A and B are shown apart, each in its own frame.
Chain A
Amino acid sequence: MVTIHNLHFSYRSKPVFKGLSLHLEPGHIYGLLGRNGMGKSTLLRSIAGFLFPQQGEIGVLGHRPGRRQPAFLQRVFLLPEDFYLPPMELRRWVTLHSTFYPKFSSEQFYKAATGFELPVDGRLDEMSYGQQKKALICFALATNANVLLLDEPTNGLDIVSKGQFRKVMAGALAEDRCIIISTHQIKDLENLIDRITIIDEGKILFDQTIDAIAERLLFRLSYDPEEVARALYAESSFRGNALILPNTGGEESRPDLEMLYKAVMLHGERLNKLFSLKSTR
C-alpha cells in the first residue's frame, strides 16, 4: 500500500532521511515514533505528496504522491498537526469539501461528530482548537480514504475525547485501509496501534508489530535484583522496577510502548538483535 525505497531528504543542509526504506500494509494502524525533528511529519508529508524525495522512491496505492493527481488525493488524507479551517459553518465546510471525495459518507461524519459531541451547527472559527481537530478527524474518517496520515492527532484533545478517538479509530480500520499515526503521546495510542515504527537520524530504528513485541519481550514489575540485572531496560518506580526482559518463557504481558520507546532509543541495536535472532529460529 505504501512503499518507500531508499528515501533521501534534507532541508537545505540538514539531512532528514538517509536511505530510509519502509513497507506499510493495509489493515494496520501504524504508530510512528521518534524524537523531535527526526522527520516524522516530513515522512507523512512525503507520503501525502507535499514533499518530494530528493533521492529514492515513494509509491502509494500505485501512485507517485508528488504528482498529486486527484485520484490519489481522494484516497490519501493527511491530518496535519497545524491545520487551517476557514471561518464558516461546519456543515457548509463539510458539504463543500465532501464533493471531492467519491467515497465520502455524511452518515459516518455525523455519527463520529456526535460521538465527539461536536457542535455540528456551529461555526469553525468559533470552535476551540480541540473541537476543530475533532471535526477534521471526523472528516478524515468519513472520506473513507485508503491511507490516513495523522500527525499528532491527540494533541489538544481532552481526556474523554482521547478515549473517543481510540474508539473511532479502532472502528475505522478496514482491510483496505492503512492508518499511520505520528505521535509523541504514545500512551494515548496504546491498545490502538498494532505496529510500531521508530525513526531516528533518518533511518528506521525499530519496526515491529505489537504481537511480535508481546511474543518476544516481557514487560513486568520486579524487585528481584537478578531480574533487574538481566533486563534489557529498567526503570525504577515506587511500585518496584519496571523491566523489559527477553520473553524466553512465552509469558503474556502487555507492552508498555513508552518504556519500549525509551529502550529502543537507548539500546536499539541490542533489541533489534533479539528480534532478528528470534526471527531466524
Chain B
Amino acid sequence: MKAQSGINQHFSMSRWSALLALHWADNRKRYLLALPAMMGLLLVWYCFLTIMDRFDPLDEGMQQVTYISGLLVVGCLYASTIFAEFDSKAKAIAWLSVPASALEKLLCGLLFGVVVFFVVYNVVFYLVDIPMVRLTNELIARQHRVWPGGYSVGPSKIYNVFTGKGDDPMDQRYHLYLLSYLAIQAAFVLGSIYFTRYAFIKTAVALLLFVLFFTIFQSRIIERALPGGFRRGPFFDWIKGDGTLNVKIIRISPLIETALGFLLLYGIPPVFWITTYFRIKEKEV
C-alpha cells in the first residue's frame, strides 16, 4: 500500500488557515453572543457586590477571586464544547470529513479554546473591571464612608491579573493560578472529545473522582505504609508531630519532588493535549 506521508500530511499553514476560517464561520454567532453574556454576568456580579458591601466591595482580593473563578468556570465550560461535534453522528462525520490532519484540528481547537479565549476573557474582564472599580471608588469617596471605628476607606486599586500587584505580597504568584487553570481546562478539552454527551458534567465528575482517589491513596495507602503517627502534609510531605517543635517530616527525594513538581506545574496541559490528539485520531463514527 503506497500511502502518502510526510510533514505536509500533518501540518500545512494554508490548510490550517482555511480550517481556522471554517471554525470561525461555523462558530462566529455563538462566540459573538458569548461576549455580551460574559460581560453582562460580570457586571451583574459587580453590581451585586456594590449593593451588598457598602464599604469596600471591589478590593483587589475580590477582583482576583472573581477573575480566577470566572476564568475557571467559563474557560472549562467553553473547553468542554471545543470538540462538541462528536455529540451527533452527522456533525462528527462533517467534521472528520474536512481534509485537514488531526494535528491541525487539535491546534485549531486549542487556538480558539486556550489562546483566543484567554485573550478575550482578559479584555472582557477589564472592560467591566476598570470602570466598575472606578465607579465604586467614586461612590465611596462621595459618601465619605468609613469603616466602623472611624478608619477611612481607601480607594481600591485595579488588580493586575498578570503580576498580582496590589494584592497581598504572599499571594502574588499569579502564574500558579494560571498554570492550574490551564491544567484543569486541558482536562475539559480532553473531556469534550472523550464524552459525547454532557461532557462538562462528566469531566467534572471524573476530576472529582480523581482528586478523591488521590486523597484516599495518600491518606489511606501511603500513610499505612509509613511508621505510626504520620499524617499527610502539604504536597509530598508526611508529618508526625504533637503541635510543639517536636515535628518529624518524611519527604520524598528532592530530585523526585522537583521532577514531580515540574510535571504538575507544566506537564499536565501538554499531556492532556497530546491525549486529545490521539483521541481525535482514533475516534470512530
Contact = CB atoms under 8 A, between A and B. Distances in A.
Is the A/B pair a real complex? Answer: yes
A68 to B, nearest CB: 7
Contact of A84 (B9, B22, B90): B90
Contacts of A77: 97
Contacts of B135: none
Contact of A70 (B22, B101, B282, B285): B101
A99 interface: yes
A80 B97 CA distance: 11
A87 B27 CA distance: 10
Interface in A58-82: 59, 62-64, 67-74, 77-78, 80, 82
Given A62-B2, A64-B3, A73 B94 contact: no
Nearest to B23: A96
A97 interface: yes
Given A69-B101, A70-B100, A84-B88, A97 B22 contact: yes
B22 to A, nearest CB: 5
A62, A67, A68 pick with most chain B CB within 10 angstroms: A68
Nearest to B92: A50
A92 B25 CA distance: 9
B150 to A, nearest CB: 61
B35 interface: no
Contact of B98 (A67, A87, A92, A97): A97
B75 to A, nearest CB: 24
A45 interface: yes
Contacts of B3: 62-64, 67, 69, 72
A120 interface: no
A86 interface: yes
Nearest to A82: B90
Interface in B233-285: 281-282, 284-285
A52 B281 CA distance: 11
A78 to B, nearest CB: 6
B61 to A, nearest CB: 43
B18 A69 contact: no
Given A86-B26, A96-B21, A100-B98, A45 B285 contact: yes
Contacts of A49: 96
A70 B96 contact: no
B127 interface: no
A174 interface: no
Contacts of A238: none
A88 interface: yes
A51 interface: yes
Nearest to B14: A99
B1, B93, B99, B100 pick with most chain A CB within 10 angstroms: B99
Interface in B1-23: 1-5, 8-9, 12, 15, 18, 21-22
B18 A96 contact: yes
B54 interface: no
B93 to A, nearest CB: 5
A52 B285 CA distance: 9
Nearest to A99: B18
A101 interface: yes
A64 B5 CA distance: 11
A210 B5 CA distance: 38
B99 A74 contact: yes
Interface string B91-115: 1011011111110100000000000
B93 A50 contact: yes
Interface in B142-176: none
Nearest to B102: A68
A99 B285 CA distance: 24
Contacts of A86: 25-26
Interface of B: 1-5, 8-9, 12, 15, 18, 21-22, 25-26, 29, 88-91, 93-94, 96-102, 104, 281-282, 284-285
Given A68-B96, A78-B97, A84-B90, 20 more contacts: A48-B97, A49-B96, A51-B285, A52-B282, A59-B1, A62-B4, A63-B3, A69-B3, A69-B101, A70-B15, A70-B99, A70-B100, A78-B93, A80-B89, A82-B90, A84-B94, A88-B25, A96-B18, A100-B18, A100-B100
23 contacts: A48-B97, A50-B285, A51-B285, A59-B1, A62-B3, A62-B4, A63-B1, A64-B1, A68-B102, A69-B4, A69-B5, A69-B9, A70-B8, A70-B99, A70-B100, A71-B4, A72-B3, A73-B99, A82-B90, A83-B90, A96-B22, A97-B22, A100-B15
Interface of A: 45, 48-52, 59, 62-64, 67-74, 77-78, 80, 82-88, 92, 96-97, 99-101
A-B interface, 7 closest residue pairs, ranked by CB to CB distance from nearest: A73-B99, A84-B90, A62-B2, A100-B99, A71-B4, A99-B18, A74-B99
